[in-house]
């Protein structure tokens, strides 16, 4: 039987940051990650550039040093691997947590490989594994994707990108550079205010010059193997097409949280927790990282989610002093 002071579920930057803060306070910590370390970042587009500066992505007391202000995906992979190594964080990668149950004053953690016990549990699972769905016919066809990795395979293909925020704009630019014929469908009346300011002028230039087709106030009603059906301001038409990237955001795994007994606000998707301690409605069970924002993925990022670990460590320390 393996027993720890604390178990962190999720080996992303916020989970690693929580583990570091707990270790710094003398706790014996184990991190579970169902994939590789910082699995979500690993699955980002190959040439992804972060919105935040490297300074704001750093965790623990180890600076994230890059030659340019805004690091790329591979810079982050190298950095977080090195942090895990230097901080000697115990990580069980490729081990998925199936359930967390509280028994008396401790937690029973069941994974696909074994059973563990801990006095405290931190849930830092993120949301990248759960894409939002369009809810339209044809969404599950093999030519429809909710993630974008690289543009090269789509050379000389007709590609529809659904969405108007950073992930869709980045994908559209990469696809056009790789020789795809790109159409972007966005329900909003204009560009989203969240689009990175350093990429919008270049993208708009492609639109204004007719290189990328942009449809505002539009939605996809049906997807076929060789076309998509679009509604723009009530006008419906069919567009010949080979592939679809539905880049419309992601959400937390609410079922997993509810299974543990964590209350979820139905409207916002936000789990119940104390903002000063990050403790959920289950004593000893804490929330860290972007899942604290519920369905609003633009509220919490690595740069502020990394701070949750300090709040959690302080809260656990305070409880021990009381006892």
**121 half-sphere exposure, CB direction, 13 A CA radius:** 30
Residue 245 neighbours by CB distance under 10 Å: 23
Angle at 136 between CA 134 and CA 141, to 5 degrees: 95
Ordered per-residue pLDDT tens for the chain, 323 residues = 799 999 999 999 999 999 999 999 999 999 999 999 999 999 999 988 888 889 899 999 999 999 888 899 999 999 999 999 999 999 999 999 999 999 888 999 999 999 999 999 999 998 888 899 999 999 999 999 999 999 999 999 999 999 999 999 999 999 999 999 999 999 999 999 888 888 999 999 999 999 999 999 999 999 999 999 999 999 999 999 999 999 998 888 999 999 999 999 988 889 999 999 999 999 999 999 999 988 877 777 788 889 999 999 999 998 887 76
| C-alpha span between 241 and 173 (Å, rounded) | 17
Residue 68 neighbours by CB distance under 10 Å: 10
The per-residue pLDDT for range 218-241, each reduced to its tens digit, is 999 999 999 999 999 999 999 999
* C-beta separation of 217 from 232 below 8 A: yes
* C-beta separation of 29 from 5 below 8 A: yes
The per-residue pLDDT for range 138-186, each reduced to its tens digit, is 999 999 999 999 999 999 999 999 999 999 999 999 999 999 999 999 9
> Which residue's entry shows tokens 């849930």?
123
The DSSP string of 115-171 is: EEEEEEEEE---STTSB-----BTTTSTTEES----SGGGTT-EEEEE--SHHHHHH
Which domains, and CATH codes, for the chain? 2-130+250-322 (3.50.50.60), 144-246 (3.50.50.60)
**What is the bridge-based pairing of β-strands 243-246 and 158-162?**
parallel
pTM: 0.91
> Which residue's entry shows tokens 């909710």?
146
* C-beta separation of 179 from 149 below 8 A: no
**What is the bridge-based pairing of β-strands 106-111 and 115-123?**
antiparallel
């Amino acid at each position: 039987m393996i027993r720890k002071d604390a178990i962190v579920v999720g080996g992303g930057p916020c989970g690693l940051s929580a583990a570091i803060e707990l270790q710094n306070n003398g706790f014996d910590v184990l991190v579970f990650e169902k994939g590789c370390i910082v699995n979500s970042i690993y699955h980002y587009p190959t040439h992804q550039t972060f919105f935040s500066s490297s300074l704001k992505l750093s965790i623990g007391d180890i600076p994230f040093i890059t030659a340019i202000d805004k690091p790329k995906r591979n810079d982050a992979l190298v950095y977080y691997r090195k942090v895990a190594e230097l901080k000697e964080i115990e990580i069980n990668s490729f081990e998925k947590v199936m359930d967390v149950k509280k028994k008396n004053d401790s937690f029973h953690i069941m994974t696909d490989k074994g059973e563990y016990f801990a006095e405290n549990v931190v849930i830092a699972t993120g949301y990248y594994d759960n894409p939002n769905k369009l809810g339209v016919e044809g969404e599950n066809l093999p030519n429809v994707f909710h993630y974008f990795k690289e543009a090269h395979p789509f050379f000389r293909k007709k590609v529809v990108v659904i969405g108007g925020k950073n992930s869709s704009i980045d994908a559209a630019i990469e696809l056009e550079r790789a020789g795809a014929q790109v159409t972007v469908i966005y329900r909003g009346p204009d560009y989203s205010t969240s689009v990175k300011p350093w990429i919008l002028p270049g993208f708009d230039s492609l639109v204004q010059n007719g290189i990328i087709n942009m449809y505002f106030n539009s939605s996809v009603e049906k997807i076929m193997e060789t076309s998509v059906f679009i509604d723009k301001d009530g006008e419906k038409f069919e567009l010949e097409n080979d592939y679809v990237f539905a880049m419309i955001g992601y959400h937390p795994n609410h079922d997993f949280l509810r299974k543990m007994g964590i209350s979820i606000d139905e409207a916002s998707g936000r789990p119940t927790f104390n903002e000063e301690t990050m403790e959920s409605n289950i004593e000893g069970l804490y929330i860290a990282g972007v899942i604290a924002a519920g369905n609003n993925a633009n509220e919490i990022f690595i740069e502020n989610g990394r701070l949750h670990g300090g709040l959690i460590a302080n809260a656990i320390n305070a409880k021990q002093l009381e006892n």
